Structure 1
Amino acid sequence: MATDEQHNARLKSLLAATAGKDMSAFRTLYDATSAKLFAFALRILVKRELAEEVLQESFVNIWNNASSYQSGLAAPMTWMTTIVRNKAFDLLRRLDDDVEIDADTFDKEVMEALESHSPTPIEALKMSGDAQALARCLSRLEGLHRQAIALAFYHDLSHSEVAGRMQLPIGTVKTWIRRGLEKLRLCLSKLEGA
């Protein structure tokens, strides 16, 4: 089994070849890293189709920007994970009213991972500062706003179905979800700027 140092050296070599537009090296890089990067995207986005979209966009970005990778600044997986994280959070911001976040499940997983006494390196990578920031921001939402977002996201309910479950007018539910998402965006923006 390759050591971390050997693995990093291999990934650096593949990134360098990818920078030279070597399709074979890029394919090998994809095969070596896509499963971990997909799992990371899925952790943030929860839905497979969203994680797949982000993974595809991320690898296009990696192909186009491999020449900008600087090994002195970050390990290859750290660099690629940052690209995936940024793409995932960009997608969350773009989705606006359609964003579906299960605050309860996401918070629980984040907190369990944070409380773990011996996370593996991959688990530690998954628990990036952004995941912690999102969990913090979700916990600051008013309970009913958070519940509306969780129902829409985790249970994949339409706004009218959420309204039925919560026994509220649909306009109220739409407003709560929209406001909750806006508060999440503002909170994340503040934390990113801090």
Structure 2
Amino acid sequence: MPETPGDFDYEAALAACAAGDRLAMRRLYEHEGPRMLGVALRIVRQRALAEDIVHDACVNIWSRATSYEPARGSARGWIYSVVRHLALNAVRNARRHVDIDEETTHTLEADMSVQAFHDAAASFELNASLGRLQHCLEALEPARRNCVLHAYVEGCSHGEIAERLGAPLGTVKAWIRRSLTSLRECMA
């Protein structure tokens, strides 16, 4: 004759699970499995998903049995809270999932292909521009090139550049201004 919920010692079953007793987990599943499935099924309304939830709940109960604290509630309530949490998470995750039809899928794939082409073209253009920029930078005198690189690559202020190069501040500002003009002309 099957045990009723009042006859089954849930706390002892959880304690045995926490101690690694596989038979205790089996007894718990045999005793509560159908009711756990019913709870999950009422929440997710899909039998296959509810069965997966009960499986995951049993794994969680087995692995987290040591975290059960009798002072915080009944062992049976703890078991069902695991099932409810998993089922509610499944419902929330399903709401985030959006099913799309085949036509929309093809449209999205085509858009992604076009975007990939544009990204590749932009990357090619950037590489070409960087090649021109490198050529133009190499055409500058080394002191002027260093001023531009310190300012625009390293983010140094004009005062910091003057200090690094041991040059007057006004000279550094003039070198940067003239170098930028030369770079614009070279890149055009």
TM-score using structure 1 length: 0.47
Structure number with the bigger relative contact order (C-alpha 8 A, sep ≥ 6) is 1
